[in-house]
Structure 1
Amino acid sequence: MQPIEIYTSPLCGFCHAAKRLLNAKGVSFTEHDVARMPDKRKEMLSRANGRHTVPQIFVGQTHVGGYDDMAALDRAGKLDALING
């Protein structure tokens, strides 16, 4: 299983939706709260090629994007394959 990282902020509805989707799949993930850890925001900007909105989701070395991107992968039946490597 690929490691999953998600950059979030506490008041972000899309962040909560992304975490719900991952929890529903029963996968663990590492959450980085960019509101509380400014160094993580800089890291996110670098890894996400300048995308500054949250969530930004990474599965292994693959930048999935935001919640809409991840949900689209799930609807297409491709998210599980990505997660399972």
Structure 2
Amino acid sequence: MDSLILKNQITIFTTTYCPYCTFAKDFLTRNALPFVEIDVTGNTSFREDLVKKTGGRTTVPQIFIGETSIGGYDDLMALSKTNNFEKLLKNAGIMLKNPLD
């Protein structure tokens, strides 16, 4: 799993049936923030690794900015309203092209 979470990208772990995964991807797309999606639908062992990597979180989406786990959709929305969001993006080498929508 560590090889999938790179320090210079946004990584989002999703399932096909999760509306919050869709909301998170829509937010990132709308704001021209590139991301890599990893679908964990039906992959029990991968989900177990993800729970360990996220400190016990069992829900999706799970979003990483660089190597930092930021949580799920609600966490993304809350973080996007702070200066820390831009700092995390900058540390990952990702620049905002426009103000967030």
TM-score scaled by length of structure 2: 0.74
Contact kept, 8 Å, 1:33 with 1:40, in 2: the verdict is: no
The aligned counterpart of 1:71 is 77
The aligned counterpart of 1:40 is 46
CA distance in 2 between counterparts of 1:75 and 1:13 reads 21
% same residue:
36
User: Which of 29, 36, 39 lines up with 1:30 in the alignment?
Assistant: 36
User: Which of 50, 54, 60 lines up with 1:54 in the alignment?
Assistant: 60
Give the aligned length: 85
Aligned partner of residue 80 in structure 2, secondary structure: helix
Aligned partner of residue 58 in structure 2, secondary structure: coil
Structure 2 residue runs without a partner (length 5+): 1-6, 92-101
CA distance in 1 between counterparts of 2:54 and 2:17 reads 20
Structure 1 segments (4+ residues) deviating >4 Å: none
1:39-77: CA deviation from partner (whole Å, max 9, x where unpaired): 431221121112110011111111100100010011224
TM-score scaled by length of structure 1: 0.86
